Amino acid sequence: MLLPSKPSEKIKAHSDTTNLLSYAKFELEIKEVETVYVLMGKETQADMEVPSVAVPLISEFADVFPEELPEGLPPLRDIQHHIDLEPGAMLPNKPHYRMSPTEHEELRRQVEELQSKGHIHESLSPCAIPALLIPKKDGTWRMCVDSRAINKIIVRYRFPIPRLDDLLDQLSGAHEFTKLDLKSRYHQIRIRPGDEWKTAFKTREGLYEWLVMPFGLSNAPSTFMRVMNQALRPFIGKFVVVYFDDILIYSANPELHLQHIREVLCVLRREKFVAATKKCVFMTPKVLFLGYVIFGEGLQVDESKIEAVRQWPQPKTITEVRSFHGLTSFYRRFIPHFSSIMAPVTECMKGVKFQWTTETEEGFQQIKEKLITAPILVLPDFSQPFELHSDASKVGIGAVLSQGRKPVAYFSEKLSGSRVPYSTYDIEFYAVVQAVKHWWHYLFHREFILYTNHDSLRHLHSQEKISSRHASWSAYLQQFTFVLKHKAGVTNRVADALSQRVNLLSTMVVQVPGFNSFRELYDSDPHFSEIMVAVREKKNSEFVLVDGFLFRGNQLCIPECSLRLQIIMEIHGEGHVGRDLTLQLVKASYFWPTIRKEVERYVERCRICQVSKGKATNAGLYRPLLIPT
């Protein structure tokens, strides 16, 4: 807003309203004064969305949240970024990149800005790599260096990287979260004195070298993590998680959370670190961290990843399949029997020639649907007992780790190689062993309940003679303390959901052309339409939806269509058994209201059964002969 220093007579000097002037009026007003004051509006970090309860704390630590990174070098801390080159390696000397005039001007401006801050200075280094510009999300540019040549001859650190699962487990019981993002975080760490020449880079104007740690240099993420771990070590594992450049503060309640934030900010002030308020998230009940949405009830899949999967087109090359497999594998803990469902997709990555079959497409669509409808996983509570449900099929094995009937994580593995011919007992036994191995860090030195639907596994500790394979598996399980419980039939609902429903749908997809289109018939079916409404409104616990298909227990509900007759024909045609046994076999996997009537009608009219039926009639019951008198 522009105002003349001498207010016009027509404008009230102390008016509460805003006065807008036209260009002609403003030109007339400005001629009457010597000085013009310019008031410019600018979004500041104070305008960012910060909960009111946290505003006083942020104001108290205003020096930790400056508008710009302070000029000058950061302090020389105990840990600097070391650059150790391989002995005898040839130093790179690359030419600078050609750029458009606009890009060159932006690069020159940023180099001058870094010089004025003291982060770089001119160099006489014998090695050099080119500088380049990388676009940011907001449309601006970040200056980086193409460090590929120098990274090839840098000795890599072997700094231990924490497992994501271990970090997520620490968040159990937390309901308040704050995520901190340091401003130009790498530039807040010094290069070890004497190593600056190894960071030299070229532009059209000259050769420069870094005094602070640049982006893109090998070992830079590890150095940053080492610095953060050293500074925040008293809090890590208690209420702070550090994973490379992500810093998360977590607490059970708001009062305690404010105290935890204060303690962390005190450390940042002492170590002279500064944060970017605009990129920080304060006191939120739900936060995106390490690719997961974390909140008090557990974990969810990131919505942006779900949208990416939903819109993922059919892969055309093996490289595109690998990209899809990599994304979905990151969230495999959310998907029961991931390996079995994904098997057709992984198969097409093995051959030299890319082949996308109907079976592959069905698996591709099914895994997308599974991820889009992924459940909420609870974070493990180590004060409560764990329950391990295992199950197996001829395709693969699966398991679910739960607490209080809520899933913590899913595990699956596709059977391949020498394990394919395993007996049912061996596959069930193998499923138990692999599940325990997968979650041993949860179950070791902790009593848990192991559920399985294979009754013979109850006797695995009491067998007198066992094979060498079983002996090895039994020896491993003896390290753990668990109670083995058998849950047979439909009572083992979790295990059945992990195998029988998935396997049935997988079989139907392969054997019935266009099977996926049958789920669209439920809403118009005279019997199942009302049930579908009740299930969606969670008013019917007898039925459940799996990938859009309606199940009654483990029975797949078949809407009114030709598929009903096809199922009866297939099952009865396998052995042309009698009416009752045919009905029993059909009802084992399928359900519809008139199933008995249709099975009886078909068996009675079966031509093969009529032709092969024996001509002898039943002679009836034996009767005692009359004794002659």
Averaged pLDDT, 215-228? 89
What is the mean predicted confidence (pLDDT) over 241-246? 82
Looking at residue 23, what is its pLDDT?
62
Question: In the prediction, which pLDDT does 45 show?
Answer: 45
With the C-alpha atoms ordered 334, 339, 345, 350, is the resulting torsion angle positive or negative? positive
The three-state (H, E, C) secondary structure of 555-612, written as one string: EEECCCCCHHHHHHHHHHHCCCCCHHHHHHHHHCCEECCCHHHHHHHHHHCCHHHHHH
Give CATH superfamily name and number for 69-267.
HIV Type 1 Reverse Transcriptase, subunit A, domain 1 (3.10.10.10)
The pLDDT assigned to 10 comes to 46
CATH superfamily of 386-494: Ribonuclease H-like superfamily/Ribonuclease H (3.30.420.10)
Query: pLDDT category, 40, cuts 50, 70, 90?
Result: low
Q: Which of 127-131, 248-252, 358-362 has the lowest mean pLDDT?
A: 358-362
**For 552, phi and psi rounded to 5 degrees?**
-110, 95
pLDDT in tens, 247-277: 899 999 999 999 999 999 999 999 999 998 8
Query: What number is the average pLDDT over the span 34-63?
Result: 72
6, pLDDT greater than 50: no
517-612 is a CATH 3.60.150.10 domain: no
Give per-residue pLDDT as tens, 557-588.
999 888 898 889 888 887 788 888 889 889 88
The whole-number pLDDT of residue 599 equals 92
CA distance 98 to 404: 62
What is the Cβ-side half-sphere exposure of residue 157, based on CA atoms within 13 angstroms?
16
Q: How sure is the predictor about 397, in pLDDT bands with cuts at 50, 70 and 90?
A: confident
Question: Which pLDDT value is given to residue 154?
Answer: 93
Cα 60 from Cα 534, distance rounded (Å): 54
Fold of 303-372: Alpha-Beta Plaits (3.30.70)
Of 150-159, 227-236, 533-542, the range with the highest mean pLDDT is: 227-236
Give the residue from 426, 430, 389 showing the smallest Cα distance to 410: 389
Kindly indicate the confidence band of residue 487, based on its pLDDT and cuts at 50, 70 and 90: low
pLDDT at 105: 92
Cα separation, 90 vs 452, whole angstroms: 61
Mean pLDDT of 487-514: 61
What pLDDT does residue 439 have? 86
Mean pLDDT in the chain? 81
Q: What is the structure's pLDDT at 48?
A: 55
Arithmetic mean of pLDDT, 459-473 = 69
Write down the pLDDT at residue 137: 72
Least confident interval from 140-154, 299-313, 524-538: 299-313
Task: Between 206 and 302, name the one with better pLDDT.
Answer: 206
- Look up residue 251 and give its two tokens: 């607490």
Please indicate whether residue 48 or residue 181 has the higher confidence score (pLDDT): 181
The mean per-residue pLDDT over the stretch 201-218 comes to 92
**Between these two residues, 466 and 226, which has the higher pLDDT value?**
226
List Cβ<8 Å contacts ≥24 apart for 574-581. 576/606, 576/608, 576/609, 576/612, 578/603, 579/603, 579/604
Residues 6 or more apart whose Cβ sits within 8 Å of residue 97: 130, 131, 132, 146
**Residue 289: what are its φ and ψ, rounded to 5°?**
-145, 130
Query: Beta strand pairing status for 2-4 and 36-38?
Result: antiparallel
State mean pLDDT over 526-555. Answer: 83
Strand partners, 178: 249
Class of residue 39 by CB neighbours under 10 A (exposed 0-12, middle 13-18, buried 19+): exposed
Lowest-confidence region among 216-230, 440-454, 462-476 = 462-476
Question: What DSSP element (H or E) covers 401?
Answer: strand 396-403
Whether the per-residue pLDDT at 187 is higher than 50: the answer is yes
Answer whether residue 377 shows pLDDT above 90: no
Lowest mean pLDDT among 40-54, 68-82, 212-226, 420-434: 40-54
Question: Mean pLDDT across the stretch 360-364?
Answer: 85
Q: Using 50, 70 and 90 to split pLDDT, how confident is the model at 15?
A: very low
Kindly tell me if the per-residue pLDDT of 46 is higher than 60: no
> Does pTM top 0.85 for this prediction?
no
Q: Where are the domains of the chain?
A: 2-38, 69-267, 303-372, 386-494, 517-612
Interval 126-136 mean pLDDT: 88
Other beta carbons within 10 angstroms of residue 595's beta carbon come to: 18
> Which pLDDT band holds residue 455 (cuts at 50, 70, 90)?
low
Q: Looking at the predicted structure, is the pLDDT value of residue 222 above 60?
A: yes
